Amino acid sequence: MNTKAIIEVNPQLPYSVEEAINRLRINVSFFGSDINKIMVVSSEPNEGKSFVAMNLWKQMAGAKEQSILVDADMRKSVMVQSYKISREDGKELWGLTHYLSDNKKLEDCVLTTDLEYGDILPNANNIVNPSLLLESSRFKGLLDLLSEKYRYVILDVPPLGLVSDGERIGHLCDGAILTVRGGVTPKSVVRNSIAQLERAGCPLLGIVLNRVGAGSGRYYGKYYGRYYGSKYYTDKYYSDKK
Ligand SMILES: Nc1ncnc2c1ncn2[C@@H]1O[C@H](COP(=O)(O)OP(=O)(O)O)[C@@H](O)[C@H]1O
Ligand SMILES: [Mg+2]
């Protein structure tokens, strides 16, 4: 039996942001049942990967799609601290690195949540070099196992521009959502990330243009969807409230 997690959830997001994530969820669902393991990635830190991954997972679970959020940023994960994740039974929190390197059982690492259809596999112990773990058969086996059990496996991963983890993980995923910090990340850097995903053989499912105008205290952004190169959808959302 999995234990339940205590998570301090985000304050309620503005309706327009909820709606943008909802559109992203619906567009991902249009890709069909082959798209199951999805990584949320960016070129640089602070572009909103974890924000998008967490909210996409929440909405998928809310739509009664069995979903798991995997914190695969094993170098510099902040999810446990940001959302103050702990175990309801008070025991030590174990996560992805414990499963991969300490041979812990999966049911001791995966936690249920208040969302009936949403589980999480946190990362409770950062490590300096996860490359070998990501190349291990245990990691690939884990993704296979999760994709049998869950309709969506959402992976929050390190930035593509810094380390090769994202490419390694992308190679094992069915697709990627690229988060881009609007007005900050140069186009050349974004192009480079798209080329990296292509090299990894990971189809680009969509681009989220995020945090546009965040400096002025607004939630503001655009969502673009791409399917193997052709743009199929654009939208714009913003709110004055934070
Ligand atoms: N659309 C958004 N609106 C407002 N704040 C955001 C948005 N996206 C991200 N943030 C905030 O920006 C910071 C960086 O986002 P985060 O998801 O942690 O980035 P990453 O995982 O790419 O490093 C966090 O404090 C997060 O809450
Ligand atoms: Mg992050």
Mean pLDDT by 10 residues, the chain (242 residues): 82 77 91 96 92 93 98 93 91 96 94 95 94 96 97 97 94 95 88 96 91 49 35 28 30
* Model pLDDT, residue 21: 86
> Kind and range of the H or E element at 190?
helix 187-199
Rounded-to-integer distance, Cα 17 and Cα 220, Å: 8
8, 44, 46, 54: residue to mutate for ligand 1 pocket, most atoms within 8 A of CB = 46
- Is 176 a domain residue? yes
CATH code for the domain of 49 = 3.40.50.300
pTM for the model stands at 0.89
Residue owning tokens 């924000």:
51
Residue 7 lies in a domain: no
Q: Is residue 112 in some structural domain?
A: yes
Instruction: Calculate how far, in angstroms, residue 177's C-alpha sits from the geometric centre of ligand 2.
Output: 14
Q: What is the pLDDT of residue 213?
A: 52
Structural domain for 76, as ranges:
15-239
Q: Which of 40, 55, 211, 223 to mutate to test the pocket of ligand 1 (most atoms within 8 A of CB)?
A: 211
Structural domain count, the chain: 1
Smallest CA separation from ligand 1 atom 14, residue = 46
Q: DSSP letter at 108?
A: G
| pLDDT of amino acid 219 | 44
Determine phi and psi for 69, rounding to 5 degrees.
-100, 120
The response to whether residue 118 sits with its C-beta less than 6 Å from ligand 1 reads no
Bridge partners for 152 per DSSP: 67
Q: How many CA atoms lie within 13 A of 215 on its CB side?
A: 4
Two tokens, residue 48:
């909103």
Q: Is residue 1 part of a domain?
A: no
Identify which ligand lies nearest to the alpha carbon of 42: 1
| Residue 27 falls inside a structural domain | yes
Q: What's the per-residue H, E or C state across 38-60?
A: EEEEECCCCCCHHHHHHHHHHHH
| Ligand 1 atom 23 nearest Cα | 46
Ligand 1 within 6 A of 43 CB?
no
Q: Which of 231, 11, 9 is nearest to 118 (CA)?
A: 9
Asked if residue 130 is part of any domain, the answer here is yes
- pLDDT at site 212: 65
Q: Where are the beta strands (DSSP E) in 94-199?
A: 111-112, 118-121, 152-156, 175-181
Residues 6+ apart with CB under 8 A from 172: 37, 139, 140, 143
Question: 3 in a domain, yes or no?
Answer: no
